[in-house]
Amino acid sequence: MGWNTYNHYSCSPNEAIVKSNAQALVDLGLLAKGYNFVTVDCGWTLPARLANGSITWSPTLFPSGYFALGQFLHARGLKFGVYSDSGIQMCMTGSPTQVGSLADALTFASWGADMIKFDNCYSEASAGYPNTDFTPPTSPSARFSNMSAAIAATGRPIVYAICEWGVDFPSAWAPTIGNSWRIGNDIIPSFGTVARILNQAISQTSFAGPGHWLDLDMLEVGNNVFTAAEEQTHFTMWAIVKSPLMIGGRLSDTAGSITSSSLNILLNSDVIGYNQDSLGVAASFVRRFTSAGYEIWSGPLSGSRNVVAVINLSNVATSLTLNLPDVGLQKAASVKNIWNAATSTNVLTSYTGSVAAHGTMLLELSGTTVAGKYVVADAVTSGTTTAFSHVYGATTGNAYTCVITFSHSSATATAVTVNSVVHSLPANTLTLSILISLTASNANTVVIVSSITPSVLTIAAPASTLYPSTSFALVGTASRTTCSSGLCAPVGSKVGYLSSTGSATLSVTAPSTAIAGSKYATVYFINNDIAISTSWTTGTNTRNMTISVNGVVTRIEVPLSGKSSELFSAGLGWQDTGLFGVLLPGWTTGSNAVVVTNTAGGLVDYAADFVGLSVVW
Q: Which of 300, 438, 311, 439 is nearest to 370 (CA)?
A: 300
pTM: 0.97
Mean pLDDT of 278-303: 98
At 376 the three-state DSSP class reads: helix
The CATH code of domain 373-460 reads 2.60.120.260
Residues with a catalytic annotation lie at: 119, 186
Q: Work out the number of other CB atoms within 10 angstroms of the CB of residue 105.
A: 26
Instruction: Give the mean pLDDT of 334-363.
Output: 98
**520 in helix, strand or coil?**
strand
Residue 8 has pLDDT above 70, yes or no: yes
**Helix boundaries (H) for 34-83:** 66-75
Task: Indicate if the pLDDT at residue 102 is higher than 90.
Answer: no
Looking at residue 94, what is its pLDDT?
61
Mean pLDDT of 173-185: 98
Q: Is the pLDDT of residue 380 over 70?
A: yes
CATH hierarchy code of domain 464-616:
2.60.120.260
DSSP state of 288: E
> What confidence score (pLDDT) does residue 150 get?
96
Strands (E), 28-77: 37-39
Residue 99 pLDDT more than 70? no
Long-range contacts made by residues 471-477, C-beta under 8 angstroms, separation at least 24?
Answer: 471/506, 472/504, 472/505, 472/506, 472/594, 472/596, 472/610, 473/504, 473/505, 473/506, 474/502, 474/503, 474/504, 474/505, 475/502, 475/503, 475/504, 475/505, 476/501, 476/502, 476/503, 477/501, 477/502
Give the pLDDT confidence of 125-147 residue by residue, as tens digits: 999 999 999 999 999 999 999 99
Region 209-223 average pLDDT: 98
Please, where in the chain does CATH 2.60.120.260 lie? Answer: 373-460, 464-616
Q: What is the pLDDT of residue 97?
A: 67
Q: Is 520 left (phi over 0), alpha (psi -120 to 50) or beta?
A: beta
Task: Supply the pLDDT for residue 53.
Answer: 87
Q: Which are the contacts of 136, defined by CB distance < 8 A and separation ≥ 6?
A: 123, 124, 126, 127, 167, 168, 567
Q: 490: cis peptide before it, omega within 30°? A: yes
% of the chain surpassing 90 pLDDT: 95
User: Where do you find CATH 2.60.40.1180 in the chain?
Assistant: 284-370
Q: Is the dihedral of CA 340, 342, 343, 344 positive or negative?
A: negative
Strand, helix or coil at 303? coil
The pLDDT of residue 591: 98
Per-residue pLDDT averaged across 239-259, rounded?
98
Q: Alpha-carbon distance 603 to 177, whole Å? A: 36
Longest dimension (CA), the chain: 97
| Percent of the chain topping pLDDT 70 | 99
Length in residues, the chain:
617
Question: What whole-number distance in Å separates Cα of residue 357 and Cα of residue 541?
Answer: 21
**Strands 305-312 and 360-370, how do they pair?**
antiparallel
Domain with CATH 3.20.20.70 in the chain: 2-187+212-223+247-256
What mean pLDDT, rounded, does the chain reach? Answer: 97
Vertex 145 angle, CA 140 and 146, to 5°: 105
Distance CA 327, CA 320 (A): 15
Mean predicted confidence (pLDDT) in 288-307 = 98
CATH number of 2-187+212-223+247-256: 3.20.20.70
Architecture of domain 284-370: Sandwich (2.60)
> Does the structure show a pLDDT above 80 at 411?
yes
Mean pLDDT calculated for residue range 55-68: 97
Virtual torsion, Cα 364, 367, 373, 374, nearest 10 deg = -100
What's the CA gap between 360 and 578, in Å, rounded? 24
pLDDT for the residue numbered 93 = 63
pLDDT tens track for 566-581: 999 999 999 999 999 9
Q: Which residues of 262-279 are buried (b: 16+ CB within 10 A; e: fewer)?
A: bbebbbbeebbbbbebee
What is the rounded CA–CA span in Å between residue 292 and residue 312? 9
